[in-house]
Structure 1
Amino acid sequence: MNARTLISLASLMLAPISSQALTLSDDLSLELELTSVSDYRSRGISQTLGDPALQAGATLMHSSGLYLGAWTSNVDFGFDFKTRQELDYYAGWYWQASDAISLDVGYMKYTYPKEGQFNLSEVYAVLDLYGVQLGALYSNDTPNVFGQDQDTLYTYLGYSFALPGEVGLALRAGRNDVKDPAYWSASGDDRQAYYEWEVKLTREFVGVTWGLSYIDTDLSKSECLSWYGYDDLCSATVVASASKTF
């Protein structure tokens, strides 16, 4: 079976209830988001073979902090895989103790039409303390290269703050850990985890949030090839993005 069977997961970062959200009632609001990216990267790995992606999401939010929604993007895993879409469903609870302290917990289901062997589920928790984000996302049904489900844990540390000129800066460093040996080097050594990181600048202009990210991992070309089937999906890259929230 091809080593691409374990794919990277989509990292959907849920934001606090936005003032731009559409008000449906005293307790309900709906937030819609459209995004264009020059490369869909998830946990440092390209999901589109380095090509651009169009993404859309909708989140229904209750004043209690409960929410549910869906998110989608085009994908391309190469080879003979038929799916060209990722479709995710999620539900959770967002609790805000103050403007500087919040907690987001929830469940997400990742689905891939026409290639159901990639489907998996995940629970997540994100704690935000004065701009510092501590996140953990756990799955016990991630398919591995042998077609068997296994445990996967992704953890990350992030920090966001404002720069002069209304520019936002977001930093993130993450670790993706799988239960079984997954990444083989040219020398024959293997490991179960890798590190990835991102530096992202954002600025709002004409109602659109424009972004520029530098993304990289510590996977070598041979390690990337052994698990994802291509040696250029894990290398350093610059990703441009544009998003609009309604």
Structure 2
Amino acid sequence: MKKALVSSVMASAALISYDSQAVTLSDDFELIANIGAYSEYAMRGISYSQRNPVAQGYLTVAHKSGLYAGMWGSNVDIAGVDANYEADYYAGYIWQPTEDISLDVGYIKYTYPKTSAMNISETYAVLTAYGFKVGSYYSNDYLGDQTTTYNYVGYGFNLPLESKLDVRYGILDLKDPAFISSSGNTKDSYHEWEVKLSKTAFQVDWAVSYIDTNLSETECYSFMGDKESCSARVLLGVSKTF
């Protein structure tokens, strides 16, 4: 269950560890903690730090039944938003009938303490089977009254030298149009993708990702106030999981 938990919890964030050493609290509970430094905070293909470096971390308490709860945090830098950091709270359940199959269902509350209007909540379900992953996230309070769905498919496999390659393709769909092109056309969804290479060395986890979306600079600016936060780029990360 521990392996499924670390790879599933906060799948939208830049977690790069897959085989952690949890802290045993009792016969029934364990604590998983992570802290890391990244070249930016990327959320579903879009930079939430205007491509600037961030520190991130999480704490998760897990029960042997598969229940878990925890919190995740990162500093942020969003154009036009008076928020210095994001604090997320989550709870869920992982059903893992075999080592290769797991189903993770749960709830996340995203909070921006200085800008409560950006606070949103999501429910999610992530199915992992033999390296393949299918996930779905739903919110009905995005920016106050927008409903959103985020669906993705992914695959991860081991490479030589104890490294791992993960690929993901996702689609975020909003109820109302939120992306405006240079010609004035609008759309209510975008596509994003990521290819990530990760490896554990010197007792820490290292990762490099290629990230991109199908949003133009103008569409990105209309949504994020920054025309470069949705463009193709490379993300670097190093973290330690306890």
TM-score range, shorter chain: over 0.9
- Check conservation: 1:17, 1:61, Cα contact below 8 A: no
Matched, 1:166 2:167: no
Paired residues, number = 233
For 1:221, give the aligned amino acid. E
User: What aligned pairs does 1:49-128 form with structure 2 within 5 A after superposition?
Assistant: 49-79=50-80, 81-128=81-128
Question: Which 10-residue stretch deviates more, 163-172 or 13-22?
Answer: 13-22
| Match among 166, 171, 184 for residue 175 of structure 1 | 171
Look up the match of 2:150.
154
- In the aligned structure 2, how far is the partner of 1:25 from the partner of 1:209? 26
For 1:179, give the aligned amino acid. K
For 1:142, give the aligned amino acid. Y
Matched, 1:21 2:17: no
Residue 78 of structure 1, CA deviation:
2.5
- In the aligned structure 1, how far is the partner of 2:15 from the partner of 2:199? 19
- Check conservation: 1:18, 1:31, Cα contact below 8 A: no
- In the aligned structure 2, how far is the partner of 1:126 from the partner of 1:216? 22
- Following TM superposition, the consecutive aligned residue runs of length 4 or more in structure 1 with deviations greater than 4 angstroms are 13-19
Residue 243 of structure 1, CA deviation:
1.0
- Check conservation: 1:91, 1:108, Cα contact below 8 A: yes
SS in 1 for 2:218: helix
Question: Which 10-residue stretch deviates more, 89-98 or 18-27?
Answer: 18-27
Look up the match of 1:3.
none
5+ long unaligned stretches in structure 1: 1-8
Look up the match of 1:44.
45
5+ long unaligned stretches in structure 2: 1-9
Percent pairwise identity: 50
- In the aligned structure 2, how far is the partner of 1:156 from the partner of 1:82? 30
- Check conservation: 1:122, 1:139, Cα contact below 8 A: yes
SS in 1 for 2:51: coil
CA spacing shift, 1:40–1:14, aligned 2, 3 Å? closer
- Check conservation: 1:10, 1:42, Cα contact below 8 A: no
Residue 96 of structure 1, CA deviation:
0.4
TM-score (norm 2): 0.92
- Check conservation: 2:16, 2:239, Cα contact below 8 A: no
| Match among 215, 218, 222 for residue 222 of structure 1 | 218
SS in 1 for 2:141: strand
